[in-house]
Amino acid sequence: MPTLSYLGGTVLSTVEVFPVFHGPTVQYTSQILSFYTQVTNSNYFDWLIEYNTPTQSITRGYVTGSYTDSSTTLPTSINDAYIRTYLSSLVSSGRITPTANTFIPIYFPPGTNIFSSTGTVASCTIWCAYHSYQPVTTPSGTTYNLAYAVLPDMGPSTGCYRGCGGYAQPFDSLSAVSTHELVESVTDPRLDGWHESGSGFNEIGDLCNGQHGSVVGGDGVTYAVQLEFSNEVQACIQSVPLTFAFAFSFTITVSSSFSVAFTVTNALSITVRFSNRTVTFPCSNF
């Protein structure tokens, strides 16, 4: 079975999402903002604590704002070098004020072709989206390794339609692919966090490509998400929904017997603490 190993780097402990819309014709901008607001504040994030590091604990995140580039003369054929320069300029000009936890998903309008670093592989051919990081410097002189993701349009006129996410509705595919990059950026923002042991480069989302679920936000809207890989469960999951606590006390003598009965669903283990002993039962015992 695969296992993600910690490589000693950082995670985004409380992700601060700041979407950038590369042009005024990017689709679904208001829905994207709602999607990030709801998903980062849901139980989709709670189980990621298993990917804490010795110095960082992963918690729910939030949206800090967004930026829409209103220029009508933005290029429609770009590569990663352009994106890195573009990000750096947004920070140096003060349009983005990052922190160590900032994540910048960049969305592009229909008709934009995005090429790989080699300049030969375009978006929606072999790849659907990707994430990386870029060293940036703020106007005050503070430097950060800024986590970002590149998300092309996934409408019917693109090769991404149905091929990325697989949904009939383009926004559902876009949100599912976005969660892939979001959670990978949280657990491996600088590419030195969590990877599959011996795999070369598989991350938490790569192990679950094409496996989807849904999150009902606090706004009542159902958002499509990708499942992510859990070391603890050894499976692709979207949440471990059961969280509860209970307490009971009793006194027994050497000659007495007793029983305790309860029902548990979707828990990793149950721990019962007595005054002088702690017993943990794995889920397989139930």
* Model pLDDT for residues 133-157, shown as the tens digit of each residue: 999 999 999 999 999 999 999 999 8
**Phi–psi pair at 226, nearest 5 degrees:** -90, 145
Whether the CB-CB separation of 131 and 148 falls below 8 Å is answered with: yes
Q: Give the Cα separation of 126 and 180 in Å (integer).
A: 16
Q: Give the Cα separation of 13 and 53 in Å (integer).
A: 9
Whether the CB-CB separation of 63 and 30 falls below 8 Å is answered with: no
> pTM score, two decimals?
0.84
pLDDT at residue 262 greater than cutoff 60: no
**Beta-carbon count within 10 A of 171 CB:** 19
**Structure tokens of 156?**
């019917």
pLDDT digit string, tens, across residues 153-192: 999 988 888 889 889 999 999 999 999 999 999 999 999 9
Pairing of strands 143-151, 102-107: parallel
